[in-house]
Amino acid sequence: MDRRAFLSGAGMLSMTAFAQSGAGSVLYEGSFVPDGAACKFAFVNDHHYWPDHKENWGGGAQITSNTNRRMPDLAAELNGERPALSVHAGDVISAGGSFYPTPSEYAKQLAFAADLYKRLAHPYIPMIGNHETLEGVYERESQLGAWSRLFGAPYRFQDLNGWRVIALHSLIPNPGGASDVYGIDAAQTEWLRQRLREATDRQLRVVICTHVPPSGWRDSSAFEEILASAPCIRLVLCGHTHRNVIRILGGVPVVERAANVTSPFGYTMVHCYGDGRVILVQKSQHFPADDFVSLKAQGPAPLGSEGERFLTVGGASKLPLTGLKVMGRGARASIHDGHLRLTAGGERAQILVDTAPLRNGRLTLTMTGAGAGRMGGIALAGPDGEGGVEAAVTARYSPDGKVYLARPRATAREVLARDWFNISDHIAYRLTLEVRDGKLRAAWKNMLELTASVDATAGQFGLFVDGGTVLVTGLRVESLR
């Protein structure tokens, strides 16, 4: 396959049948990426941690005031992914130009970053961004002394089962300058060439990670020549711009990723295959702003298109809808590029997981709305999708509430519980919808929880959208004792 292709094709859906998971037996689990990945790693950029900070920076575009809550949540989320490696691609802290912390604040930020890495249950690579030094401009290598004593070499690599992940340092000293200069110097360029020769000799495929994209370097011509002359390089991953953007340089996809510091508090899971494919799936901490969501953070602009959030480089990743029943007039569903896409052609589209009816069960659903008027999970539905109970998030305030539990009815919903919360479009959330002995509990991670009593009738579990589209990155149904 041409490594520049962004294609969809055929594969097999990963499902777990009747595997034990805590108190429940897993009947269905879809991760929506093909089986057989040689390795997977997490890529997180632009955390911008600022412990105990009281203000959100940049007009609310960077949500720094909940740093102390976001960091342990991210560590737990990454550990739950069970990656072979996590790459933390620069601007993990909020120092340098724009922020100007005091030396004591800077030391506190470095210690906070060190605490993040101690919490990880897997190998990790810390990277340098343009906010890793105390001073406003990077003028000399000695400015990285405190960072290097804690976190090691400024550029490095790690091999993962046939793949090599290379992390670069994209700041060039600029003595007496008024601003930072980006790129890689001659010594690092030669180091990179040597690592690529080794990879070629060992038949390793390569992903290169850099904080500042090559488009922002003072001179990227030598790097472009390296990309064009090293067929082992499959992908370049970047941060810094806080946006999902795809470019081509030297015949290689260069992919910039949205920041962790803004909604939807994203990170990317990178799945690498023996045939050279790479699947990138944008995930989320499911962590809202406490009292608001910045207008800059709400909109789709930093996230880009669906194809920029979820993509396959160098091959095919379309999967069959195995174990899923799609319902609704004009409803359309597909699994590709690491996510399940459900679109309502009419008023409502539904997907039910094709298991035996459950009286006690649990649905775990991770989803993002894209123009969805109403979306959520379904429990105890009939085989035709009728009846049951829905746990919904609405796009607008309504008499039903912004978030509610309800029984769908032919004429009107019977609302069992409701609440209001600032959940906007394009923010991912994880819903756990559990029914046990006639009691229903719906919990949106880090957001809120609703409970109600329900009939003990057995039924099926799934998801729905009223108008628009939902993008799903995780779906599990369990039978509970």
- What is the three-state SS of the chain? CCCCCCCCCCCCCCCCCCEEECCEEEEEEECCCCCCEEEEEEEECCCCECCCCCCCECCCCECCCCHHHHHHHHHHHHHHHCCCEEEECCCCECCCCCCCCCHHHHHHHHHHHHHHHHHCCCCEEECCCCCCCCCCCCCCHHHHHHHHHHHCCCCEEEEECCEEEEECCCEECCCCCCCCEECCCHHHHHHHHHHHHHHHHCCCEEEEEECCCHHHCCCCHHHHHHHHHCCCEEEEEECCCCCCEEEEECCEEEEECCCCCCCCCEEEEEEEECCCCEEEEEEECCCCCCCCCCHHHHCCCCCCCHHHHEEEECCCCCECCCCEEEECCCCEEEEECCEEEEECCCCCEEEEECCCCECCEEEEEEEEEECCCEEEEEEEECCCCCCCEEEEEECCCCCCCCEEEEECCCCCCEEEEEECCCCCCCCCEEEEEEEECCEEEEEECCCEEEEEECCCCCEEEEEEEECCEEEEEEEEEEEEC
Q: Determine the pLDDT at residue 398.
A: 83
The two most distant CA atoms of the chain are separated, in Å, by: 74
CB-based contact 55:64 (threshold 8 Å): yes
Q: Determine the pLDDT at residue 336.
A: 97
Instruction: Give the β-pairing of 233-238 and 252-256.
Output: parallel
Which among 463, 440, 442, 446 is positioned nearest to 376, based on CA atoms? 463
CB-based contact 44:260 (threshold 8 Å): yes
In sequence order, which residues have a C-beta less than 8 Å from that of residue 419 and are 6 or more positions away? 401, 402, 403, 404, 448, 450
Distance from C-alpha of 453 to C-alpha of 440, rounded to nearest angstrom: 6
pTM attached to this predicted model:
0.92
Per-residue pLDDT band for 3 (boundaries 50, 70, 90) equals very low
Instruction: Give the β-pairing of 460-466 and 324-327.
Output: unpaired
Distance from C-alpha of 41 to C-alpha of 270, rounded to nearest angstrom: 5
Per-residue pLDDT band for 290 (boundaries 50, 70, 90) equals low
Residues 306-344 pLDDT 10s = 999 999 999 989 999 999 999 999 999 999 999 999 999
In sequence order, which residues have a C-beta less than 8 Å from that of residue 150 and are 6 or more positions away? 110, 113, 114
Q: Determine the pLDDT at residue 23.
A: 66
Query: Quick one: average pLDDT of 439-466?
Result: 94
Amino acid at 283: K
Residues in the chain: 481
Query: Quick one: average pLDDT of 236-263?
Result: 95
In sequence order, which residues have a C-beta less than 8 Å from that of residue 415 and are 6 or more positions away? 400, 401, 404, 405, 406
CB-based contact 452:388 (threshold 8 Å): no
CB atoms within 10 A of CB 100: 13
Q: Determine the pLDDT at residue 413.
A: 87
Distance from C-alpha of 74 to C-alpha of 285, rounded to nearest angstrom: 6
Q: Residue 141 has which token pair?
A: 């290598």
Residues 377-434 pLDDT 10s = 999 999 999 999 999 998 888 888 889 999 987 778 899 999 987 666 677 889 999 9
Query: Quick one: average pLDDT of 354-366?
Result: 96
Per-residue pLDDT band for 292 (boundaries 50, 70, 90) equals very low
Which among 77, 135, 124, 148 is positioned nearest to 473, based on CA atoms? 77
Task: State the chain's mean pLDDT as an integer.
Answer: 90
In sequence order, which residues have a C-beta less than 8 Å from that of residue 63 and are 6 or more positions away? 56, 261, 262, 263, 265, 289, 294, 297
Residue ranges of domains in the chain, CATH in brackets: 36-313 (3.60.21.10), 324-480 (2.60.120.560)
Query: Quick one: average pLDDT of 165-186?
Result: 97
Query: Quick one: average pLDDT of 176-200?
Result: 97
Distance from C-alpha of 47 to C-alpha of 53, rounded to nearest angstrom: 14
